[in-house]
Structure 1
Amino acid sequence: MAQKLSWLKRRSHEDRNVEPDETGRPVRDLRLLPAAVAAWIAAVLAVRLDAPAALMLGFVLTTVALGCMAFVGYRRKHCRILQVILVATGAAAMICLPTAARIDQQGSEPMEAAIASEGHITAKLLATGDASRASAPDLDGSPRWILEATLLEGTFGGERFTASIPLVVLGGDDWSAVKDGDMVRAAGKVTATDPGERARALMIGSTAPDRLEHETETGPMEQVRERFLTLAGSTGAPDDGLMAGMVIGARSVVAEDLVVRMQSTGLTHLTAVSGANCSYVLAFVFLSCRAFRLPRWAAALGGIVSLVAFVLLVRPEPSVLRAAVMGSIGVLAVLTGRGRLSMTLLFLSIAALLAVDPWLSGEYAFILSVAATSGLVLAGPLLVQRLETLLPRWIAQLLAVPLAAQLFCTPILILIQPAIPTYSLLANIAAAPVVPFITIAGMLAVMLVSLLPLAALPFAVAAGWGASWVAGVAGFFASAPLAVIPWPSGAGGAALSALSSLAVLAVAVWWQPLRAVVRSAAAKARSAVRGIRIRALKWVAAGFALGCAGLWAAAGAVHETAEWTIAGCDVGQGDGFVVRTGEHSAMVFDAGPDPALIDRCLDALQVETVDLLVITHLHQDHYGGIEGVFSDRPVRRLLYSTSEAALPDEVIEATTDAGLVPEPIVAGDTGALGSTTWTALWPFPDVTDASENDASAVVLVTTGGTDGRSPVDVLFTGDIEEEAADEMLVAHRDLTLSGVDILKVAHHGARNGGHRLIEATSPSVALISAGRHNDYGHPHPATLDALDAAGVYAARTDQRGSFFLFADDGTLRIRSL
């Protein structure tokens, strides 16, 4: 009986989870979980509402919270459900009310009118970050830059106004030098952003920024950053700018190819300051103060001061803010003797950060930060316990930390990049030991760079070579075979990834019973095998062989049925489509902007010969990847259309090396490749002074029609715009009568492609090629609405990645590649 009471007391103590037990079992105090969840939901809703609606929601939540409080006080009885409702509604009201005030403060009637009409404004802007290079270049191939800024003053329609409105500016190379804190004046076109975005509008710069020197102040932290960046560039370490990114968050100086390698190896979180860096700084300062026998309160104060200075230096970002808040609360927990309350700290940090900045609720960096921390707290200790039954404890701890974070973060990362870095765990293990060293050595260099530059150099050199190790790890694993495994994109891919993570965690949780079941099954199998005669084994082997043969035959039949007809290649922000003409041959329409992407897609489709390459027009997002089409495969003919006088260098070089002569394509040109025929419908030879988009080749392709299959008509339209498309339809009225099965939506689904092609051709399927999270807003909601109204299914590369279509019993079916 005494033993039972002792066990019950220990069990009750573990359930309360106020302190970790003697075995180091993790603390899981979930009492603030409803508050954190309610705060997050309220933030997601509030930032998508206008100010009156957000205010009304806040008042309703406040009323409910006050009602619960009054009821609990009146009854004077402990009611857990009412307490949960009180805490949840109170936290949600804490989010909604200040969010309503901030949305109202950002309001401006002239600006709202400019956004609604997509008009041009002249603006005075305060940069709130450094300009960063956009993922997609401009149509002529030149780089574009993105800048986060606040609109302070503007002029629209002759009316001058003042405001405080967050914007995102998209501009050319002239914007690359704009830094955080710069005051600039520029003009541009403003368009609306999606609901819930931090920026109220996207401004497409039509002029170069005019830096207002007399109104731009360089603060002391910015001066320290500039000095450290200069020092980091003089260390001689082959780190490709990674050290500056890891120490002070200067991502703009990190080499682009290194960023790609880091993405391929699951090391993206190291390309800039993460929440872990805050923990290293806080721990280093706190322990150093304690080593000099300073009292606990002084060490805690020193840690908080250093943490605030660090956040100001690197500029607050979602993961940095989360770690800074958790670190501060953690110091308070230590001072008050409460011990380690990891989940409580996480829930408090979520609610506090969302109260300060509710727009964090939709930012991937913040979501990943919360997911990684949850993984470390909830799954980390459990994984250590399971792994140390097989490995030494220090190796188990080294494996458990990146594995726990990866299990929780991978489903979210799939939404950003639908691929699994095969060697992510190994790469993180190899890089982990030097990350704290890089952070501390780098911060010592930052502290000394303004006071004693010569003394700062050794620390910067040491941090630089540490970063070189991380860059080398990324390069080694990125070049390994199967470094990245393609994964289904979208919500389905994320759900599949989440199920995989849950399966791993389930094995970790139920390891003992699973091991017992496996051992029992193995023992029974060995016993059964001993009793089976050799003759029976022969019959089993024969049956297995016949079964494999049947499966092989069935697979061959399915493959024959599911032979692809049309494929859309995920080439980013551009076009790249493939029409099958033979077992290993195809027609290719456009090459996208990146040779590697179109080459990878053609390899996946097993295209060994390109019978015909059509470059619909000479914008970089259609011809820039031409080298990839010619990579290790012959191209027999190249047709192009353009309003320009000369061909781009990339096209000339690719065709010259292959011994091809590029031929212009005009309406009336026709051809046949096996059972596939094509006819050019546009442009007419007499069309002059057309824009490059309107010079796009429009080609009708008919493929199939053999072996009893129905032919499939596909209309490729390049980037033709509405007026030219209308003129083409007038000239080809038979196209309106016959319609097509598949329509390649013009100009990546942009609004200027119009709706007439959709209405006139009545397709069953529409193909849209656009980059995921592209800066153009492609495809435009109006285009998607037109497809929905016409009952046309849209297959999009920004959602599905690369895909192919095949005819199955007269029905078009789509599969991801």
Structure 2
Amino acid sequence: MLGLAVAAWAGAGAGRWQGWWSVGGALVLAAVLGLALRRRSGSGLGAALAGVLVLAAVGGVTVLRLEQVRRGPVAALAVERAAVRVEGVVVSDPREVQGRFGSTVVCRLEVRSLTGRAQTFATRTTVLVVGDTAWLEAPLGSRVRTTGRLGPADDDVAGVLASRGPPEAVAGPDPWWRAASAVRASVRAAVAHRPADQAALVPALVDGDDAGLDEQLAADFRTTGLTHLLAVSGTNLTLVVGFLLLLARTCGVRGRWLYVVGALGIVGFVLLARTEPSVLRAAVMGAVGLVGLGVDGRRRGPRALGVAVVVLLLVQPGLAVQPGFALSALATGGIVLLAPVWRDALARWLPRVAAEAVAVPAAAQLACTPVVAALSGQVSLVAVAANLAVAPAVAPATVLGLGGGLVGLVWAPAGRLLGTLAGWCVAWIVAVATRAADLPGAAVGWGSGALALAVLTLLVAAVAVAGPVLLRHPVTGVGCCLLLGLVVAVRPPQPGWPPRGWVMVACDVGQGDALVLAADGGAGVVVDAGPDPVALDRCLDRLGVRTVPLAVLTHFHADHVDGFAALFEGRAVGAVETTSLQDPPEAVQAVSEIAAAHGVTPTVAPYAVPQQVGDLRLTVLWPPPGAPETGPGDGSTANDASVVLLAEVRGVRLLLTGDVEPHGQAALARTWPDLRVDVLKVPHHGSRYQDEPWLLGLGARVALVSVGADNDYGHPAAEALGPLVAAGTRVLRTDTGGDLAVVVDGTSLATVTVGGL
């Protein structure tokens, strides 16, 4: 069954990327295998035939689903960017998203009727709606009408609908959706009086509602391997249904009626957590995990996992390309394949309960490690210990939070009392996450390149094989735990990092900019702070930067300033300089408040005035005097007001360009016509909107691109990087190379990447 699961996964991928050709090829191969099987029977041929048939079936379902989405009237009108009027049912909770240019609300709408280009169509196709905050009043399950303009979509939806104005209500949600929404609202109300992190985390534990969760806390959860607590998982379902069954037994329910209670509990939980593919996947994988740890789990668990993957991909083939599905399947695979072996090895010298408590999270985390590294570029070393530490609080927090929501519907004060108890449990989880994330070796930057992931996969396989042997004896088992604790408490050195003679490092901070220029005596000039203070803090720690004589913020967009507070984490900051355009105002205020709290007042970067910081000579080339100090809130205007900085050190010239747009680049070409540099920080994360003659005219030998993996902006664009590569420029990207260092050795210029170590 595990082989069939792999075949189903391959079929979903082949159907998505190769279409009917893959299905036809699989059917031809199946026919050949069938004829061979008739002439000579054999279990190997039979298994191969079954795998090919499953591949063809899942591939066919995938192609049919995609054809339904991409070739229908909605997709055709989306390609034409037609103005339409639609009526449909809201099939996901409207969610407010903070973008670069303000807040918008997104949700999914199952279109039932659509009018566009003087034609009306009856359909059942899903579109992604992007609208204003009025859409927050359109509850899940309600039927609405709206108008807007369709656009193409990259996801498994027929198009993106930019809605004009508020939706018009046609009919309210069905009773079960109203009941589920009432319970979700009651859960939030039961903890509304608690501190913000508790008020956000309790609903996330109960039903996956993580709205309002602080980004810094979410980053700590990612670092410590606790992210699964912020989303609906099999654990949630097991805890909730288990609590209901225990309550039913207490009330005297016995026999088959317990199955009825369990079934009702599953249905109720799925409605509460929403009937999205991720919820259904979590419920199925949770059940498989229980089978794997039950009686005869070593035999039944892998079979159950294989069946689950095949069925899920037949029902929802789009799951095959979702990271959550891969993580869930791998974690479950680790539980059913590795955990029993590890548990039995530990049970030789530990109580069985303790052995299982250690083996389950360790096996799940190990199986997921390569995919987590591919997504985040790092490997968590505290995940197992953190999961063990929070385990005693997860169940009571979940059950008490749900109880607070249910009781609060009847009597609000009692609901708040249970919510308070849930908040106390959650406080422990928050403390573990924040404390563990602050440990020096909480996570190791690994990189997400092919070579790095291949090496990591081999290491994971080696640990999986050697684990039971080492854990079977108390001396080696305890020794491994002590060694891991030492690595976590003392940051493990990265060989060759920072490289000798480095003059600049582009920190891997995700989708944003954070650059460090080397100054004298362990000091560093920081240009932009990225979107993630944790990532910037770790980059500076790895470089040994303890003093920041100057910090320059090229402009005030979140991906350049949200990590600003990290500069003051155990470091002395001398001065902060910014662009003259004070936009957006809320970001300007946040930067000013953080700087003022540490006795620093931001000033405008002086135009064309050379500044000397140790060996560094810095000159601002843009924006010129007279540039506006306020803007219309247009993101392009703020980008074009980015500080463009020329740095000269040890005979190397580096141009740091922020997010300056083609208009600003053309103006720079006119103002500084003879500008030549050795290293270029490519503007705007490698956006396709560039002044190509100016970029090529700089003559850069090295170009660095600060960009996040799998970002939603399409950065970097081949149109931007292709001409640079063709001109002989070496292009490096943080999403594939991790931290990027420019090194000067005598008169030679070199580059080093963390991902390449």
SS at match of 2:637: coil
Paired letter, 1:220 = W
2: distance between equivalents of 1:451 and 1:697?
A: 58
Q: Are residues 1:718 and 2:668 paired? A: no
Q: How has the CA–CA distance of structure 1 residues 256 and 786 changed in structure 2, closer, same or farther, with 3 Å as cutoff?
A: same
Contact 2:183 2:406 in 1 (8 A): no
Question: What code does the residue aligned with 2:654 have?
Answer: V
The yes-or-no answer on 1:430 pairing with 2:392 is no
Aligned-residue offset at 1:85 = 2.3
Is 2:224–2:437's contact at 8 Å kept on the other side of the alignment?
A: yes
Q: Is the 8 A contact 1:333 1:339 kept in 2?
A: yes
Q: 2:156 matched to which residue of 1?
A: 198
3-state SS of the aligned residue for 1:375?
A: helix
In structure 1, the residue corresponding to 2:505 is in which secondary structure?
Answer: strand
- The 1:493/1:321 distance shift into structure 2, 3 A limit, reads farther
Aligned-partner SS, 1:770: coil
List aligned pairs for 1:761-772, cutoff 5 A.
Answer: 761-772=698-709
Give the match's secondary structure for 1:699: strand
* Partner secondary structure for residue 395 of structure 1: helix
Q: Rate the CA distance shift 1:721–1:338 in 2: closer, same or farther, 3 A.
A: closer
Q: After superposition, where does 1:338-349 map in structure 2 within 5 Å?
A: 341-349=300-308
2:58 alignment partner in structure 1: 95
Alignment match, 2:484? none
CA 1:634–1:407 in 2, change beyond 3 Å: closer, same or farther? closer
Q: In structure 2, what is the equivalent of residue 392 of structure 1?
A: 351
Q: Does 1:692 align with 2:653?
A: no
How many Å separate the matches in 2 of 1:618 and 1:254?
23
Deviations 1:568-592 (A, max 9, x none): 1234433222222323333332333
Task: Report the counterpart of residue 105 of structure 1 in structure 2.
Answer: 68
Match of 2:23 in 1: 58
Indicate yes or no: 2:677 matched with 1:677.
no
Aligned to 2:180: 224
Counterpart residue number, 2:688: 751
| Aligned partners of 1:319 and 1:369 also within 8 Å | no
Aligned residues of 1:231 and 1:457 also touching (Cα < 8 A): no
> Which of 148, 170, 177 matches 1:214?
170
Give the match for residue 804 of structure 1: 741
**Deviation for aligned residue 1:243:** 2.9
Query: Residue 676 of structure 1: CA displacement?
Result: 3.4
For 2:360, the aligned partner's letter is: V
Residue 662 of structure 1 aligns with which residue?
603
8 Å Cα contact 2:689/2:720 also seen in 1:
no
Q: Does 2:311 match 1:352?
A: yes
Task: Quote the offset at 1:93 in angstroms.
Answer: 1.9
CA positional deviation for 1:422:
3.7
Helix, strand or coil for the counterpart of 1:213?
A: strand
Name the counterpart of 1:41. Answer: 10
Q: How many residues align?
A: 722
Cα displacement string for residues 268-325 of structure 1 (whole angstroms, at most 9, x for unaligned residues): 21223211333445566678889968556x6545534432332233223555423544
The residue identity in structure 2 corresponding to 1:139 is R
Q: Does 1:138 align with 2:111?
A: no
Q: Which amino acid aligns with 1:569?
A: C
Please tell me the root mean square deviation across aligned C-alpha atoms, in Å: 4.3
Residues 610 and 634 in structure 1, CA contact (< 8 A), matched pair in contact too = yes
| AA in 1 matched with 2:100 | L
Asked if the contact 2:292/2:298 (under 8 Å) is kept, the reply is yes
TM-superposed deviation, 1:662: 1.8
2:377 matches 1:418: yes
Question: Per-residue CA shift, 1:173-216, capped at 9, x if unaligned?
Answer: 666665433546364674543xxx4345556x5755x1322244
Aligned equivalent of 1:507: 466
Amino acid at match of 1:101: L
Partner residue, 1:408: 367
For 2:3, what is the secondary structure of its paired residue? helix
- Please identify, of 354-363 and 116-125, the stretch whose mean Cα deviation from structure 2 is larger: 116-125
Cα distance change of structure 1 residues 474 and 96 upon mapping to structure 2, 3 Å threshold: same
- Maintained 8 Å contact 1:228/1:449: no
Letter in 2 for 1:45: A
Change (3 A) 1:365 1:184: farther
CA deviation string 1:629-662 (max 9, x = no partner): 4663232573634387999334545666646572
| Cα distance in 1 between the residues matched to 2:298 and 2:600 | 74
Aligned residue for 1:568? Answer: 506
1:481 & 1:561 partners in 2: Cα distance?
A: 20
- For the residues of structure 1 that align with 2:504 and 2:274, how far apart are their CA atoms? 47
Q: How far apart, in 2, do the equivalents of 1:178 and 1:808 lie?
A: 61
Alpha-carbon shift at residue 359 of structure 1 (Å): 0.9
123-132 vs 744-753, which moves further: 123-132
Structure 2: any 5+ residue segments left out of the alignment? 478-492
Task: State the secondary structure of the residue aligned to 2:574.
Answer: coil
Number of the residue aligned with 1:180: 140
1:661 and 1:290 map into 2 onto residues whose CA distance is 65
SS at match of 1:804: strand
Question: Which SS does the other structure have where 2:17 is aligned?
Answer: coil
Structure 1's 501 and 163: CA in aligned 2 closer, same or farther, altered over 3 A?
same
Q: Map Cα deviations across residues 402-450 of structure 1 (whole Å, 9 max, x no partner).
A: 1111111122222222334443222222332444455556666667776
Q: Larger radius of gyration, structure 1 or 2?
A: 1
The change in CA–CA distance for 1:110 and 1:442 in structure 2 (over 3 A counts) is same
Cross-structure match for 2:588: 648
Q: Tell me how far 1:347 sits from its aligned partner.
A: 0.3
Unmatched segments (≥5 aa) in structure 1: 1-31, 519-554, 705-710
Alignment partners' CA distance in 2, 1:573 and 1:327: 33
Which deviates the most, 499-508 or 318-327? 318-327
Matched, 1:374 2:314: no
Report the AA paired with residue 577 of structure 2. L
* Residue of structure 2 equivalent to 1:551: none
Segment of structure 1 superposing worse, 233-242 or 571-580: 233-242
Alpha-carbon displacement from aligned partner over 1:62-120 (angstroms, at most 9, x marks no partner): 34435544553x44x53223212221121112212222222222135776567667788
503 and 317 in structure 1: CA distance in 2 versus 1, 3 angstrom threshold: farther
Listed one character per residue, the Cα deviations across residues 243-271 of structure 1 (whole Å, up to 9, x for unaligned) are 32222222225555543443333222122
In the TM superposition, 1:317-716 aligns within 5 A as 317-318=276-277, 320-325=279-284, 341-439=300-398, 465-478=424-437, 482-511=441-470, 562-593=500-531, 597-629=535-567, 632-636=571-575, 638=577, 640-642=579-581, 648-650=588-590, 652-653=592-593, 658=599, 662-666=603-607, 668-685=608-625, 691-704=637-650, 711-716=651-656
Q: 2:226 aligns with which of 267, 270, 278?
A: 267
Specify whether residues 398 and 640 from structure 1 end up closer, same or farther in structure 2 by C-alpha distance, changes over 3 A only: same
CA distance in 1, matches of 2:572, 2:364: 42
Amino acid at match of 2:300: L
Give the distance between the partners of 2:624 and 2:253, measured in 1 at CA: 86
Distance 2:499 2:471 in 1: 46
**C-alpha displacement at 1:230, in angstroms?**
1.7
Q: Which residue of 2 aligns with 1:23?
A: none
1:693 touches 1:720 (CA, 8 Å); kept in 2? Answer: yes
Structure 1 residue 361 displacement after superposition: 0.7
User: 1:132-159 deviations in whole A, cap 9, x for unaligned?
Assistant: 455xx5336x555554444566677787
For residues 713-763 of structure 1, what are the alpha-carbon distances to aligned partners after superposition, in whole Å with 9 as ceiling and x for unaligned? 22222222223322322443323xxx4321111112222234333332242
Alignment-derived partner of residue 248 in structure 1? 207
Instruction: Please give the alpha-carbon distance, in whole angstroms, between the structure 2 residues aligned to 1:231 and 1:774.
Output: 33
Distance 1:793 1:38 in 2: 39
Percent of aligned positions that are identical = 29
